[in-house]
Structure 1
Amino acid sequence: MAPGWVNISEDTVVVMAKPTRWVTDTGPEHSQWYIDRFRRLAAEGADLAGEARLVDALVPPGSRILDAGCGTGRVGAALAARGHTVVGVDADPVLVEAAGATYPGPRWLVGDLAELDLAAAGEPEPFDVAVIAGNVMTFVAPGTEADVLRRVAAHLRPDGLVAVGFGTDRGYQLSAFDDDTAVAGLHLEHRFATWDLRPWRKESDFAVSLLRRPAD
């Protein structure tokens, strides 16, 4: 297995070219706080599958789905429950361990999205769609946003989709995202203000973008 990639059951540390904002902009207890937060929301019956419902509607049954920046696994697990084959990737081994413990169905991997190489991790088959939810794009290492989108796009089949959602008031401007999308060779098809498809407007502080990898 290539450096930087590990099944959570193996005792190896992920290697990142640059530390993510998740590491540099949060404290040492943030990962456990995040895990506890979503466990509490799940116990309270909160709707945690909104992103998954949209992604499920984009692809046929039994599709291959990449959960890029999977965190605690809530989105990927909901998609796996709908019959899809899911591979989740996150740079935080604490979150990936929690995902594997809570949702044992999908394959969860620790890795840097800016250097994503799933073939080296034993996943050479392309994906029908990738989902980047949970403000992941605002937590990647500064200056790697285009690399993240490019590496995710490289794992899609021709004509595959990427669904990306993040708060546009969190330091990563939507105009910069659109520039990075073009650099990555992805085409914007639709944009919404929420995962339940409310219309996007210039004053919206959240954007869900559906991006297409061109057919070869």
Structure 2
Amino acid sequence: MNRWSELTGETSGEDYAARFAALARSGKDVHGEARFCAALVPAGARVLDAGCGTGRVAIRLAELGYDCVGVDLDASMLAVARKQAPGLPWFQADLAGFEPDLLGIAADFDLVVAAGNIFPLLAAGTEATVVQRLAAALRPGGLMVAGFGLDEAHLPVPPGITLSEYDDCCAAAGLTLVDRFATWDAAPYDGGGYAVSVHRR
């Protein structure tokens, strides 16, 4: 079982969505990830939101003109995503076994985004497999972006993967590090407890 399932019991979709809705109402910007992605690839690009949750990032990118697909294991999260954007393609799948062809999806994404601590919340030992699966969904030259916490202060679970381990997984999957930031607002990475990494296939 992955750490997300252990943490939530996969029943937290509505609560999760409500929390972000409250943040948005309070004036907090909840679209940093989508804005970051939009700066990397032009409108119209194909984007895979891996571990899409309630679809917050994919829905915003779709509004900005991107061709988005969302994949998540948590049915309660996907139920919210489907309710909020019934016109977008949402798929329930474990990222460790993600095969676009089996879902009828072309594996030629311009960008794969894994926001929201996807990697630290995977089942221990599956990180390299997930990177491999996501890298394989990219077209040559495509980008993979992952933002996740590296210490207790930035995670709801004990840290599961270090940056150097993540980079090793990426290298093994044929990905090259392009850039790294400390936030989705593209602040320079300073060795802190959260990192947003951009790799290219």
Same-fold status (TM-score > 0.5): yes
Supply the AA of the counterpart residue of 1:159: G
| Structure 2 residue 183 is the aligned partner of structure 1 residue 201 | no
| Counterpart secondary structure, 2:23 | helix
**Aligned twin of 2:25:** 43
The gaps in structure 2 that reach 5 residues or longer are none
Separation in 1, partners of 2:8, 2:54: 17
**Aligned twin of 2:91:** 109
**Aligned twin of 2:175:** 186
What is the deviation of 1:31? 4.0
**Aligned twin of 1:143:** 125
Contact 1:136/1:166 (8 A) holds in 2 = yes
**Aligned twin of 2:104:** 122
The gaps in structure 1 that reach 5 residues or longer are 1-18
Supply the AA of the counterpart residue of 2:174: G
Change (3 A) 1:199 1:118: same
Separation in 2, partners of 1:65, 1:122: 15
**Aligned twin of 2:8:** 26
Q: How does 1:55-66 map to 2 (within 5 A)?
A: 55-66=37-48
What is the deviation of 1:124? 1.9
Separation in 2, partners of 1:51, 1:130: 12
**Worse-matched range after superposition: 27-36 or 115-124:** 27-36
Contact 1:77/1:105 (8 A) holds in 2 = no
What is the deviation of 1:26? 3.5
Separation in 2, partners of 1:175, 1:124: 30
Per-residue CA shift, 1:62-111, capped at 9, x if unaligned?
11100000001010011000111100000101101101101223211110
Identity of aligned residues (%): 47
Contact 1:116/1:151 (8 A) holds in 2 = yes
Contact 1:54/1:195 (8 A) holds in 2 = yes
Per-residue CA shift, 1:172-204, capped at 9, x if unaligned?
2112212211222211110010111111012x1
| Counterpart secondary structure, 1:25 | helix
Supply the AA of the counterpart residue of 2:176: H
Separation in 1, partners of 2:90, 2:150: 28
Per-residue CA shift, 1:138-194, capped at 9, x if unaligned?
111111111111101101100100011001114121122122112222111100101
Residue correspondences, number:
194
Contact 2:180/2:189 (8 A) holds in 1 = yes
